[in-house]
Chains A and B, each alone.
Chain A
Amino acid sequence: MPDQIQTHTLSVLVDNEPGVLARVIGLFSGRGYNIESLTVAEIDAARRLSRITLVTSGTPMVIEQIKAQLDRLVPVHAVRDLTTEGPHVAREMALIKVVGSGDKRVESLRIADIFRARAVDSTIESFVFEMTGSPEKIDAFVNLMRPLGLVDVSRTGIVAISRGAKGI
């Protein structure tokens, strides 16, 4: 099935310089590629390095193109396809605000406990839960909170790293 759409998680090591994120995003919009999730932060201040974790989808030919196009950008150090290069760990963090009282409030706290979400802020009528996990786990938790007074969700998008001893 050469034309089947696949989802890949890419790690991109870049120089932390102005415009580098715009270059990456512009590449995706300009060439019509998908971005399902994108996170970026500096990982080495001394060497001015940032790491971008990108989740994208496309046919195998398109995924190869995306990697080649990313690698062609001048400030890009390395492009790694975590999906094809062996097992990797992928996590996302979310902050979830739930407002309610009575049974609903108790129930939200109980479910948060099951999902190992922590309350990081609390008032008489609200909680802010912090949770880390796979995107599916966060989706499940958010869906359960909906009838219990969900008002706000903020998610980081996926960060990922390969398993084992080898670095990028």
Chain B
Amino acid sequence: MTTVTRPPATAAELTGAEVILKALADQGVEVIFGYPGGAVLPIYDALFKSNYVRHILVRHEQAAVHAAEGYARSTGKVGVVLVTSGPGATNAVTGLTDALMDSVPIVCLTGQVPTHLIGNDAFQEADTTGITRPCTKHNYLVKDAGILARTIHEAFHVARSGRPGPVVVDLPKDIQLAKAPYVGPEAIEHRTYRPRRAPDLQAVEQAVELIAKAKRPLFYCGGGVVNSGPRAAELLTEFVRLTGYPVTLTLMGLGSVPASDPLFLGMVGMHGTYESNLAMHGCDVMINIGARFDDRVTGKLAAFSPGSKKIHVDIDPSSINKNVRVDLPVVGDAGETLAAMIAAWKKKKLKVDRAALAEWWDQIKAWQARDCLRYKGSTTVIKPQYALQRLHALTKDLDPYITTEVGQHQMWAAQFLKFERPYHWMTSGGLGTMGYGLPAAIGAQIAHPGRLCIDVAGEASILMNIQEMSTAVQYRLPVKVFILNNQWMGMVRQWQELSHGGRYSESYTEALPDFVKLADAFGGVGFRITKPSDVDGVIKEMIKVEKPVIVDCCVDQKENCFPMIPSGAAHNEMLLGPDDRASQTTSEEGMVLV
């Protein structure tokens, strides 16, 4: 670890900008992602004079937020962003919305025009708190230097506690320049905001009794387990193994149970495994821990897991009974609730119904025998699934940090890369933000120097934040961009094929850059693979290069992502592969769904 020089503990006369930096230091912030501009110059000046917070200069403010997300989700810490007023703040909005949807703790400091100019349509003025109100967990406009320090500390508290999320602090330039008192982060007791962590023990006891009586049980767990911290994942794994029950994970929850555990059925949802979705449909007790019954998981709500009693553990009371009515809600932190459940289970000496469970596992094994992730291999074209299988095989011992963009490649990555522990998988789940992966990989690489960070990308998504190659080169971050290039917005094309009669409206990219030259132009290294036999060699080479790398992996242009629950269909109406196409008609009801 590098030694950090902290500012003097009792600084009598600080400016607002110095107070901000001192507050960041006291919050344990080591790195911030940002982009300067007129309304944050005083903060950048204070940053220049200090050496205890490292600043990473991105190339676009959206990427600053995604990089902070990658940093936060690979460490469990709060990601910090610093951008200027007006366009700086509006560019950050997509990242903030992404962080809100995926519950990522972010503190985003935005510059603002001086207080006396607010509302006058001043240069680079935007109503930042107005614009970001619906896309943040909370936001502040600091109009009084006297409460500046407290507000910054409160922002961190709100961002990281309860269900985490992004918090914006809008900082007028005159506040940054004014003398401001400093208070420490100790004893931030909020007047109104006190999220509940500890579960109701009576509900926990009811839950474990219901769990023990189950004949066809299923754990369905999500990002709440990851957000609770590594201990929650250990507890979940312990509880699952204690019962011997099958477990499925959402896209956001991958890694919270080791993928290699035989109790793990794979991902659930639209592109989840056949066995996971049929187990969801057929279970009699569903134990949801930290997942939110997202529409990508439930499919058709009216036909969702019709015969099950549902237990739902969530730290956010508004997640309960939002989409699906549950029988036993437990409001609490996933880790604390799991610990209480295990304790209650042991105290009551509960036993599972062995005979029923064996029967249930026989059924699940029959579903697993369908081998739903099977695909037709090829010796002439690279199948995207094959490329990812090789990527996994050749990198798994390095325990890589994986990010993705959004689309087919993302779903294939979720299916074919296997995660043994949390904090290693970062993807835009709720918002589905193309352009997320490269900056997120940069954030993860900043947090984990010397480790392998890979952005599994598509050729369309990567172009949305390709400018961040320049950031990666500047900070000598050897992130690897692994593009599955099929020249199509693959997921758009797949939906046009299934729901719009194969009319491929604007989903083909007629002009693409030469990604090898592009990598070179940025100062990185580029590779192209066109033959299956070259895949291994290039992946090994990619790992060795200590520079940012773009691999342009030219894959089968026609491949679609299966299995799939068509829009508006139920879990038991899954399509297993292209040969299932006879039954592939999206209902009119499904057409209107996204």
Q: Which residues of A contact B (CB under 8 A)?
A: 15, 18-19, 22-23, 26, 30, 61, 64-65, 68-69, 71-77
Contact = CB atoms under 8 A, between A and B. Distances in A.
B334 to A, nearest CB: 18
Given A18-B141, A19-B129, A68 B192 contact: no
A64 B192 contact: no
Given A19-B129, A26-B134, A74 B192 contact: yes
A64 B321 contact: yes
Contacts of A65: 318, 321-322
Contact of A68 (B133, B134, B190, B317): B317
A68 B322 CA distance: 10
Contacts of B39: none
Contacts of A22: 130, 133
B160 to A, nearest CB: 13
B418 interface: no
Given A64-B321, A74-B137, 19 more contacts: A15-B192, A19-B129, A19-B130, A19-B133, A19-B141, A22-B133, A26-B133, A26-B134, A30-B134, A65-B321, A65-B322, A68-B318, A68-B320, A71-B317, A71-B318, A73-B138, A76-B192, A77-B191, A77-B192
A19 B133 CA distance: 9
Contact of B318 (A23, A30, A72, A74): A72
Contacts of A73: 138
A162 to B, nearest CB: 21
A74 B138 contact: yes
12 contacts: A15-B191, A19-B129, A19-B133, A19-B139, A26-B133, A61-B321, A64-B321, A68-B318, A68-B320, A69-B318, A72-B316, A72-B317
A104 B97 CA distance: 59
Chain A binding site: helix, strand, loop or mixed by DSSP?
helix
Interface string B301-332: 00000000000000011101110010000000
A73 B139 CA distance: 11
A73 B318 CA distance: 11
A75 B192 contact: yes
Interface residues of B, number: 20
B193 A74 contact: yes
B314 to A, nearest CB: 11
Contacts of B126: none
Among A72, A76, A77, the one with the most B-chain Cβ atoms within 10 Å of its Cβ is: A72
A19 B132 CA distance: 12
Contacts of A26: 133-134
Contact of A61 (B134, B158, B317, B325): B325
Interface in B117-146: 129-130, 133-134, 137-139, 141
A72 B192 CA distance: 10
Contacts of B192: 15, 74-77
B158 A74 contact: yes
A77 B193 CA distance: 8
A7 B141 CA distance: 35
Contacts of A18: 141
Contacts of A76: 192
Contacts of A64: 321
The 3 A-B residue pairs with the shortest CB-CB distance in the complex, in nearest-first order? A68-B318, A74-B138, A68-B317
Nearest to B154: A74
Nearest to B130: A22
Contacts of B190: 74
A26 B134 CA distance: 7
Contacts of B138: 73-74
B259 to A, nearest CB: 33
A162 B434 CA distance: 50
Interface string B147-159: 0000000000010
A64 B318 CA distance: 8
A120 B213 CA distance: 70
Contacts of B322: 65
A95 to B, nearest CB: 31
B133 A23 contact: yes
A112 to B, nearest CB: 43
Nearest to A29: B134
Among B139, B141, B317, B325, the one with the most A-chain Cβ atoms within 10 Å of its Cβ is: B317
Contacts of B193: 74
Nearest to A77: B192
A73 B317 CA distance: 12
A74 B129 CA distance: 14
A22 B131 CA distance: 11
Nearest to A18: B141
A22 B139 CA distance: 12
A18 B151 CA distance: 14
A110 B288 CA distance: 65
